[in-house]
């Protein structure tokens, strides 16, 4: 347990340039608090103390603003940055070395009691406000853009943006999800259409001149 806490502290110190000391993280980082408290709630849940596990998870939600169901499985070195508004469903699974920003939802779309929440691979970054909904997998080392709504499988090494989310690239990642480096595919498509319209207008003018010239002759 203490080894995992040390890993969490080292991870936050590494990934958050605003952190100045491990004591500051212990005292003031709700993402750290939520993960540590979840481990206790999850332990109780697995042992059959479901009501007590839910009580502890709801206490954590009240204190941190982060709601993690005690049945959810969290990997090692998870960093929930800021964290307010993060929701993780009961059957969600999160791999190792994942970075989640505030406002993220790992939710379900079905009403049965089976697997209904996403599985997040290792080394995934999920941007602010992203919603990942359904019992599918987000591949290792993938990046989910801010406010994206992901409703289908994501391959390894992918960058996903948009509503609904679409795969921008596979194998060519935007490091640490720097949104200034993410191209806008809709703007690119509009630019291509505009260029095509300009070419067609030029062709129409050329044909019109030829017709006018033939009529004069």
| pLDDT value at 37 more than 60 | yes
Strands 166-170 and 158-161: antiparallel
| pLDDT value at 35 more than 90 | yes
Other CB atoms within 10 Å distance of the CB of residue 78: 26
Among 31-35, 130-134, 157-161, the range scoring the smallest mean pLDDT is 157-161
Question: What's the CATH number for 2-181?
Answer: 2.160.10.10
Report d(CA 48, CA 27) in Å as an integer: 31
CA angle (95, 93, 166) in 5-degree steps: 85
Domain positions in the chain: 2-181, 184-217
Query: What band does 175 get if pLDDT is binned at 50, 70 and 90?
Result: low
**What's the predicted TM-score (pTM) here?**
0.79
Helix H or strand E encompassing 12: helix 2-15
Query: What band does 172 get if pLDDT is binned at 50, 70 and 90?
Result: low
Report d(CA 127, CA 181) in Å as an integer: 14
């Amino acid at each position: 347990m203490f080894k995992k806490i040390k890993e969490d502290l080292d991870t936050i110190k590494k990934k958050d340039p605003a952190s100045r000391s491990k004591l500051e993280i212990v005292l003031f980082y709700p993402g750290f608090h939520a993960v540590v408290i979840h481990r206790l709630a999850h332990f109780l849940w697995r042992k059959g103390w479901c009501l007590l596990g839910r009580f502890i998870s709801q206490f954590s939600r009240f204190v941190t603003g982060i709601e993690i169901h005690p049945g959810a499985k969290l990997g090692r070195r998870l960093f929930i940055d800021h964290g307010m508004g993060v929701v993780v469903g009961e059957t969600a699974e999160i791999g190792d070395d994942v970075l989640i920003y505030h406002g993220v939802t790992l939710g379900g779309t079905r009403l049965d009691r089976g697997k209904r929440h996403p599985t997040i691979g290792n080394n995934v970054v999920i941007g602010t406000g992203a919603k990942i909904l359904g019992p599918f997998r987000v591949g290792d080392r993938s990046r989910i853009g801010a406010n994206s709504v992901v409703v289908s499988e994501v391959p390894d090494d992918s960058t996903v943006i948009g509503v609904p989310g679409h795969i921008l690239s596979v194998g060519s990642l935007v490091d640490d999800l720097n949104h200034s480096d993410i191209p806008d595919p809709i703007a690119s498509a509009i630019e291509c259409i505009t260029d095509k319209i300009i070419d067609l207008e030029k062709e129409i003018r050329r044909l019109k001149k030829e017709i006018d010239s033939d009529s004069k002759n």
